[in-house]
């Protein structure tokens, strides 16, 4: 009765129905001081970030910049496919780098994600594992590639290792979130039979998260192919080498041809990945 009284008073004062008054009363409870302060903080952060990022969207509307862009873009056309065989081979190398970088990362992410899940391991295991994943995820593939080039030399292998480490950190985070969202019933049932921790993971956890893990891995594979196309800039193999050389020599028509091949390859990978996801998930 106490909850209906304010709604009744509101309906009488504003000449609205009790149902609408009750809804407005409920919405009013959602506006709290802490939420208002949080919203203000978000606005301040966005403003400061815009200042630090030097956002100047209206620069594109300046006549001289529009003229510069209008003169620059036509230099990419028509695309020059003279060396299309070389580009195709380099693209296949790039895709191969993405495949192996993603595969190795997915394999490593499975135990790391289990160890980073609060509902599986205690905090003294979870927190150090999460910090390791944070470190792997925080360092860009290009930085890893530069490090591995020193260790193993120029070529695709350095790119595979760079993709592997960075992607393992990303997949480990995503996999652990999937593990923490599982239903506890099957795990508790397996535990009640006297099963070991490993058996709980194999029979109670992994069957529940396999669909999500598969989806995450396929998405990261698509992303890794795009990332691998850039690693060649620092000497880690793939189509990035040809792309960098063409940019450096101002051969923009060749750059356009390479970009078209990359777009077609990425679209094909996306179609195949979607089919695999629909089949497995």
For residue range 100-154, what is the model confidence (pLDDT) as tens digits? 999 999 999 999 999 999 988 999 999 999 999 999 999 999 999 999 999 898 8
Instruction: Say if CB 97 and CB 231 are below 8 A apart.
Output: yes
pTM: 0.81
pLDDT of residue 3: 47
* DSSP notation for 113-176: HHHT-TTTS-HHHHHHHHHHHHHHHHS-HHHHHHHHHHHH-SSHHHHHHHHHHHHHHHHHHHHH
pLDDT band with cut points at 50, 70 and 90 for residue 234 = confident
Contacts of 172 (CB under 8 A, 6+ apart): 108, 109, 112, 113, 116, 129, 133, 136, 137
Distance CA 73, CA 67 (A): 10
Mean pLDDT, the chain, integer = 86
pLDDT of 16 higher than 70: no
Q: Is the pLDDT of residue 7 over 80?
A: no
Region 213-228: mean pLDDT is 89
pLDDT at 28: 62
Q: What pLDDT does 23 receive? A: 67
78-82, 111-115, 189-193, 202-206: which range is least confident on average? 189-193
Domains parsed from the chain with CATH numbers: 1-55 (no CATH), 78-280 (1.10.3720.10)
């Amino acid at each position: 009765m106490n909850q209906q009284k304010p709604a009744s008073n509101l309906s009488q004062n504003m000449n609205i129905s009790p149902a609408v008054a009750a809804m407005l009363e409920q919405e009013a409870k959602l506006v709290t001081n802490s939420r208002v302060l949080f919203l203000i903080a978000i606005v301040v952060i966005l403003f400061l970030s815009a200042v630090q990022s030097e956002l100047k969207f209206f620069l594109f509307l300046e006549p001289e910049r529009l003229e510069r862009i209008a003169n620059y873009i036509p230099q990419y056309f028509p695309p020059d496919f003279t060396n299309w065989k070389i580009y195709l081979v380099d693209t296949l190398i790039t895709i191969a780098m993405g495949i192996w970088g993603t595969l190795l990362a997915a394999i490593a992410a499975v135990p790391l994600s289990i160890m980073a899940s609060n509902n599986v391991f205690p905090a003294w295991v979870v927190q150090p594992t999460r910090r390791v994943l944070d470190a792997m995820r925080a360092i860009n593939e290009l930085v890893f590639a530069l490090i591995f080039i020193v260790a193993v030399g120029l070529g695709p292998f350095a790119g595979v290792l760079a993709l592997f480490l960075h992607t393992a950190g990303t997949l480990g985070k995503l996999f652990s979130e999937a593990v923490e969202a599982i239903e506890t019933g099957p795990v508790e049932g397996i535990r009640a039979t006297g099963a070991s921790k490993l058996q709980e993971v194999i029979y109670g956890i992994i069957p529940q998260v396999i669909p999500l893990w598969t989806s995450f891995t396929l998405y990261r594979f698509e992303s890794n192919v795009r990332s691998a196309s850039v690693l060649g800039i620092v000497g880690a193999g793939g189509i990035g080498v040809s792309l960098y050389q063409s940019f450096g020599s101002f051969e923009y028509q060749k750059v356009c041809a390479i970009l078209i091949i990359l777009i077609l390859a990425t679209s094909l990978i996306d179609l195949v990945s979607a089919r695999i996801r629909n089949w497995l998930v």
